[in-house]
């Protein structure tokens, strides 16, 4: 049996299958069901009609053709099981199968506000050896699952659950409900896995969550169907250095990085670009990361740096330019109203900082060097022209080797920005020379000379 199709959870029982659509909720179909989650993260199962008549089968057939969403909510030996949303994937007289997005199993509520709480997340595509680090609320430990899972991920080009993340909460963390713990722990795991994804250059996601009281007694579990598509792997820092990486970066990944720099969106674009096949598409993805950083930074400064002059000052400036433009158009004999209108409307663009200005303001604020990557203004202009050509003309208009060189420069700059805003210290994989070396955010002392 394939390691990716190994079951990590399963249940079976009897209950009523109900459509979730508002206008169809009167329909109830008694069924036997099986459900399971596998090492590839997929949640699926089978349904068997209990009452042997054609009416229910035809009802289910008609509903399935309408893309109806179903749910099963039942009690199994004192456990509350919810499977939803549920979609019929195959319907025939021989077998009815389904896939589901979520599977939630509640054993009981939190028994005491004084009990010690811990949790475990099964995660995909994570590679780790003896990674442990502290967070404000407790201790985090990564575990790596043994077996052929990594081999099959490479063979079948699919994602798979490769490890787990344990979070042991401090005694001071005492909440009163499962939902309160979920809210806290889901926020923590999102932050942890986003940093792990950045480090390992691959999409890392959680597939299951289990909440425990003291003595590892299960209270609640939640499983979700994660994307099974293969995610490329391009390590920025070695998985062997994960403990040091997290000790340096986790405390510096504050909510301000998301609000002020769009860090969350930047990481998503970065990972997406790594998985694209067309080089021009990869390039655009990386440039989007760069623009996310510099324009989010510009618009969240006080005052914002999006425009050169404030609105009233530029209005007066624009009015004066408009008068001069009219005079010169008359002198040059430009009488076409459309041409004159187009020239006048473009005057507004004068109040925006150039890409170069925005980039250097951002890099200067964080003291991120760039002269070893982007040598001069001409170098930077080429990078911007490649981006503009791809967007507006569909091609880079560069030889393949030149496009590779431009891509490598943008990648090197983007990776340096990520590590710099996290105040990372340690080794990283230099994208251009492909060597592991000590990270320096300003290797040529660009900003010391300022």
Determine the length of the chain.
450
* Burial profile 325-358: b = 16 or more Cβ within 10 angstroms, e = fewer: beeebeeeeeeeeeeeeeeeeeeeeebebebeeb
The Cα 146–Cα 303 span in angstroms is: 53
For 157-235, list the strands marked E by DSSP.
161-169, 206-213, 217-224
Q: Are 4 and 40 in contact (CB under 8 A)?
A: yes
Mean pLDDT of the chain: 89
Q: What is the pLDDT of residue 64?
A: 65
Phi, psi of 207 (to 5 degrees): -110, -25
Alpha-carbon torsion, ordered 408, 409, 415, 416, to 10 deg: 150
Place of tokens 């575990």: 143
Asked if 273 and 421 count as a contact pair (C-beta separation under 8 A), the reply is no
The residues near 53 (Cβ < 8 Å, ≥ 6 apart) are none
**What percent of the chain shows pLDDT beyond 90?**
60
Neighbours of 20 (CB within 10 A): 13
Q: Tell me the average confidence (pLDDT) per consecutive run of 10 residues in the chain, 450 residues long.
A: 86 88 72 93 91 66 70 90 90 84 91 81 92 95 86 86 94 90 96 97 95 87 86 90 95 94 96 93 96 94 84 82 80 80 79 89 95 91 94 93 95 97 96 93 82
pLDDT in tens, 387-420: 999 999 999 999 999 999 999 999 999 999 999 9
Cα–Cα distance for residue pair 246/188, rounded to 1 Å: 13
């Amino acid at each position: 049996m394939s390691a990716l199709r190994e079951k990590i959870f399963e249940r079976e029982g009897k209950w009523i299958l109900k459509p979730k659509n508002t206008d169809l909720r009167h329909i109830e179909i008694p069924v036997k069901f099986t459900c399971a989650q596998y090492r590839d993260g997929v949640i699926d199962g089978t349904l068997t009609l209990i009452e042997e008549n054609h009416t229910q089968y035809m009802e289910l057939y008609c509903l399935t053709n309408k893309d109806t969403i179903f749910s099963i909510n039942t009690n199994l030996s004192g456990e509350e099981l919810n499977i939803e949303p549920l979609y019929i994937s195959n319907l025939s007289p021989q077998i009815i199968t389904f896939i589901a997005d979520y599977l939630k199993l509640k054993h009981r509520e939190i028994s005491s506000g004084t009990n010690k709480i811990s949790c475990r997340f099964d995660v995909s595509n994570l590679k780790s050896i003896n990674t442990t680090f502290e967070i404000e609320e407790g201790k985090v430990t990564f575990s790596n699952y043994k077996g052929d899972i990594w081999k099959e991920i490479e063979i079948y080009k699919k994602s798979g659950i490769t490890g787990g993340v344990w979070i042991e909460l401090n005694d001071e963390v005492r909440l009163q409900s499962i939902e309160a713990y979920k809210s806290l722990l889901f926020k923590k795991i999102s932050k942890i896995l986003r940093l792990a994804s950045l480090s390992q250059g691959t999409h890392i996601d959680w597939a299951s969550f289990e909440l425990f009281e003291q003595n590892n007694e299960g209270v609640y579990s939640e499983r979700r169907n994660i994307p099974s598509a293969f995610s490329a792997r391009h390590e920025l820092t070695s998985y062997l250095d994960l403990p040091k990486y997290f000790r340096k970066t986790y405390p510096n990944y504050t909510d301000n990085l998301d609000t002020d720099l769009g860090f969350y969106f930047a990481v998503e674009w970065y990972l997406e670009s790594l998985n694209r096949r067309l080089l021009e598409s990869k390039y655009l993805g990386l440039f989007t990361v760069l623009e996310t950083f510099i324009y989010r930074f510009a618009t969240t400064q006080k005052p914002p740096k999006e425009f050169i002059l404030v609105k009233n000052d530029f209005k007066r400036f624009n009015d004066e330019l408009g008068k001069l433009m009219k005079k010169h158009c008359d002198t040059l004999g430009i009488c076409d109203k459309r041409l004159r209108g187009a020239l006048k409307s473009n005057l507004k663009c004068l109040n925006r900082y150039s890409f170069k200005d925005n980039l250097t303001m951002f890099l200067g604020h964080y003291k991120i060097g760039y002269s070893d990557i982007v040598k001069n203004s001409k170098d930077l202009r080429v990078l911007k022209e490649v981006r503009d050509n791809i967007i507006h003309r569909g091609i880079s208009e560069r030889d393949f080797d030149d496009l590779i060189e431009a891509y490598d420069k943008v990648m090197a700059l983007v990776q340096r920005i990520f590590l710099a805003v996290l105040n990372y210290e340690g080794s990283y994989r230099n994208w251009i020379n492909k060597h592991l070396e000590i990270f320096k955010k300003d290797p040529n002392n660009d900003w010391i000379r300022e």
